[in-house]
Chains A and B, each alone.
Chain A
Amino acid sequence: MAQKLILLVEAEPSIVNRVEDCLTSSDYDFFNAIDGAEGIRKVFEIYPDLIIVDLALPLMSGIQLVRTLNFLKLQVPVIFIGEHSEFTKNKVKLPHVKDTCVNHMISEELEAKVEAVLNDPRGFEDIKLELEPEEFLGFLSREDRKKILIASDGPTARNLFNQLDTLGYYELYIATDGREALFKAISIQPDLIIASTDLTILEGKKLAKLLYILGHSLPLIFMQLNQDPITQEQLSKLEGVVGFWSTGQALNERKFLFDEVQKAVSLNARMLKNLNNAYKEIDTMNLKAGMGSNDILDDPTLFQEFDDVDLD
């Protein structure tokens, strides 16, 4: 049998030890992440067969972590662990959560539960990503043009696309909701993302956060219909955010649009490099500092909406 990879997302060292002690079989290869963001990144890095997640993680809760993974279309099976009180408090039903185990029963029960989940054949679904013909042609052309992803509602995105397309020197991509924007941003790695704050499915703020959590901090300009200083302040703390536009101005003032895009794109070549270097040094402390401790990942409502999202 091939070795099974198990990822434990748990901050408390004593619990980590307890879990490690009970999963001694040489059939298992064991990994540990200490918070939700690291957990998500590790899931993509090692692609485990099973994730054991503490319900009460710092920064991003276990539930948020699982929701996020579901949102990102991964169906890796999950076992929740935690104190008894947390289980009574959090009675959510989440897809792909196969079992639970209270902390004081780990030594007695966890091994059998792990074995049962791993032996239970899980479903795999292919994931599809679509590109419009003109986007694919952009993808095929030589890479001497700057790539720009425009994420907004259909008419706005199309309008900006057409305006910028007349210049001929950008490779342009379109996304009409936040999830599409996320996936396209990661696979295309644009030099600039222009995104509405009020994207459907995954709003602009969350898009920026998820990109950051996944390690793809791409330069991003937000567009807002009515400029709102409070939101702007919040957003400007996010890694990668380089500017704010009023949607009306972008749509109606051609000169503004062209000048700003050009400015952003030339500025970003340098910034992107810095960001990538910074990413290499990311640890949890960084994550906290970069995102503002009481802001981004602490927000309990942050990933709740992922629930409503169609997870097909």
Chain B
Amino acid sequence: MAIDLKAILIGQPTETMGALEDSKVKVIEVADCLQGIRGIIRHRPDFVLCRVELEGLNGLSMARILLMLKINIPLIMTAPEHKPAHEKIVENLPNVVGYWAEAGIYYDLKRFVEKFKRPSSNKRDKPQTPYSFKFIEHEWANLLEKSNKKRILLIEKDELTRKAILTKLNKIPGLQLFTCQDGLEGLLKALFIKPNLILTEIDIPEINGLALAQILYVLGKPIPLVFVTANEQKEVKRKATNIEGVVGFLHKSRLPRRGFLAMALAQYLQKSERLQSAIGESYEKARVDNLETEKDSII
């Protein structure tokens, strides 16, 4: 029985298209990785071909983001010619199944599709692990409650600081509080609960705060975000300011001041409401900083 295959091509030469058409694979073509990610989420293709070096978000960063989101769709990276540097990175990305030079792509691809079409390798039949979201009881109550309260997600690795901030937040009426301890959990939880505001440190485990903000943006879910800072370098702060969705910085040393957090939060919530509609408009034209620099913290 013939299986209908669907593929997304990102920045590919015409040979790729030809090979897939000859192999009767449905093709969706997009120009860059930003649209690529959104296309993958929307169309759930069987595999993806992507050029490594592209304007804006590059192919390897896209592979990392997909990996973090546990979207395990096979990716084939292509380049006009092999680069050893790429090969090294590709080795660490389990969702990248091939790294090909574009010169011989027609035959490589035909072979790949043949193999893919064999029933034994049909990925769709394999059971996939579900996404699991964990909530403490109070968060669960928040989740089931029908309300107009503002949802705040606090990402903070240090338990004492987390509790201290929570105690302060608890005294502010009209909030629903959610917490987690690292960036990866934070990313998935944020996507699920859609908070009005994220409070996070920049230096958090798994995915750092900057990458988190960028990924949310790439996904078209630019949840307004406030960085809780201590003594970050100017350079880091400058970078953070440039990411869409970042509405401000809270310095830890100011938190103990009475009434400070409540007032700051009210301002940020107001600002984020305005921002959220504005971001919606700018989103299509988005360009994203290269996530390459984050690779150590991301994987």
Cα distance A47–B131 in the bound complex, in angstroms: 27
Do A44 and B145 have beta carbons less than 8 Å apart?
yes
Residue B264 lies at the interface, judged by CB distance under 8 Å to chain A = no
Separation in Å of the A211 CB from the closest CB of chain B? Answer: 10
Q: Would you list which residues of chain A between 55 and 70 have a CB under 8 Å from chain B? A: none
- Residue with the highest number of chain B CB atoms closer than 10 Å, among A131, A137, A216: A137
Given contacts A45-B147, A133-B71, A140-B69, contact A128 B133 (CB under 8 A): yes
Binds A, one of B13-21, B38-46, B110-118, B227-235: B38-46
Cα distance A279–B147 in the bound complex, in angstroms: 11
Do A187 and B145 have beta carbons less than 8 Å apart?
no
Cα distance A170–B70 in the bound complex, in angstroms: 22
Cα distance A124–B135 in the bound complex, in angstroms: 11
Contact of B128 among A45, A133, A187, A216 (CB under 8 A): A133
Residue A30 lies at the interface, judged by CB distance under 8 Å to chain B = no
Binds B, one of A72-80, A108-116, A297-305: A72-80
Residue B220 lies at the interface, judged by CB distance under 8 Å to chain A = yes
Mask: chain A, 129-172; 1 = CB below 8 Å from B; 0 = not: 11111101101111000000000000000000000000000000
Q: Hey, which chain A residues are within 8 Å of B69, CB to CB?
A: 140
Do A132 and B137 have beta carbons less than 8 Å apart?
no
Given contacts A73-B140, A187-B143, A214-B146, contact A127 B131 (CB under 8 A): no
Q: Would you list which residues of chain B between 138 and 178 have a CB under 8 Å from chain A? A: 138, 140-147, 167
Q: Would you list which residues of chain A between 5 and 48 have a CB under 8 Å from chain B? A: 41, 43-45, 47
Residue B136 lies at the interface, judged by CB distance under 8 Å to chain A = yes
Cα distance A214–B140 in the bound complex, in angstroms: 13
Q: Hey, which chain B residues are within 8 Å of A130, CB to CB?
A: 130-133
Do B70 and A133 have beta carbons less than 8 Å apart?
yes
Given contacts A130-B131, A133-B70, contact A125 B137 (CB under 8 A): yes
Number of interface residues of B (CB under 8 A): 33
- Residue with the highest number of chain A CB atoms closer than 10 Å, among B70, B142, B192, B220: B192
Do B135 and A126 have beta carbons less than 8 Å apart?
yes
Given contacts A125-B137, A139-B191, contact A132 B128 (CB under 8 A): yes
Residue B219 lies at the interface, judged by CB distance under 8 Å to chain A = yes
Do A132 and B41 have beta carbons less than 8 Å apart?
no
CB closest chain-A residue, reference B143: A187
Cα distance A137–B41 in the bound complex, in angstroms: 5
Q: Hey, which chain A residues are within 8 Å of B237, CB to CB?
A: none
Given contacts A133-B71, A140-B41, A187-B192, contact A43 B135 (CB under 8 A): no
| Contacts beyond the supplied A126-B135, A130-B131: 7 A-B pairs with Cβ under 8 Å | A41-B145, A44-B141, A127-B135, A133-B130, A141-B41, A186-B144, A187-B192
A-B contact pairs, 13 of them (CB 8 A): A45-B147, A74-B140, A75-B137, A124-B137, A126-B134, A127-B136, A127-B140, A131-B130, A133-B71, A133-B128, A140-B191, A186-B144, A187-B193
